Amino acid sequence: MKKYTDDKENIRIERIYNDIPSQLAKENQKFVFAKLDKHDNRKRNYITSIDWLISSLLVLPCYNITNPKYPLKVYFDYDSYKLFLNDTGILCNLAGISSIDVLMNNDLDYKGVLVENYVATELLKMEFDLGYWSRKDKTSGSSEVDFIIQNNSNIIPIEVKAGTDMKSKSLEIYNEKYKPTLIIKISAKNFGKKDNLKTIPLYATFCLKKLKES
């Protein structure tokens, strides 16, 4: 970063990059600029830094979508987004997580963040635009679906789980409201299909590229 930016810009770029692991650990993973620095935390001061990181593909923005309709991209909220890293191994390193923790410790709360980041990188490789759905409701509270992708004219919600627990109230709310023809859950469970729900194991996320071929 220091090779291409001046000192002040470099400081802001590094603040954003190093803060991504803790931002993703929040219940609401939307990137919040107020967390970056006590005195220098205005969003307008960081726009160039964010653009630099996105253009360099060091971070992957996943934009909020409150109205998941075709064409999906026109409903992206470009002022509201999560930021993933382009490499899940680097995310582990920045978070201070060892490979042993990932492989052996099923109680690691942060594993959910790691698998989301992994799926984000895989979706981008398959040339899907990254978006997620969220809404607030007075009766049901906050709901969020991890990823929303578009295949041809089909809008497909994707829920990501680190384990085998397949329950998702948010996905149920989404299904009831929008009635998608296909729902995908990526988890530690094996392949499966029931009604409009398709289950894909984490290691086989790359199989989603078949959607591009259909």
The per-residue pLDDT for 139 is: 65
| pLDDT at position 213 | 67
| pLDDT grade for 29, boundaries at 50, 70 and 90 | very high
Q: What is the pLDDT of residues 95-137, one digit of tens each?
A: 999 888 888 766 788 999 999 999 999 999 999 999 999 987 7
pLDDT at position 135, please? 86
- 107 vs 26: which has the higher pLDDT: 26
Say whether 189 sits in a helix, a strand or coil: coil
Q: Return the amino acid letter for 38.
A: K
Domains of the chain plus CATH, in order, are: 60-213 (3.40.1350)
Written as one letter, the residue type at 147 is F
Confidence at 71, pLDDT banded by 50, 70, 90: very high
Q: What is the pLDDT of residue 103?
A: 81
Distance CA 7, CA 84 (A): 24
What pLDDT is attached to residue 9? Answer: 87
Mean pLDDT, residues 142-148 = 93
At residue 214, the pLDDT reads 61
SS3 label, residue 198: strand
Q: How far is CA 58 from the centre of its chain?
A: 14
157-200 tens-digit pLDDT: 999 998 887 778 899 999 999 999 999 999 999 999 999 999 99
Helix residue ranges, H only, 26-62: 43-55
**Mean pLDDT in the chain?**
91
Instruction: Return the C-alpha torsion angle 62, 89, 86, 1, nearest 10.
Output: 120
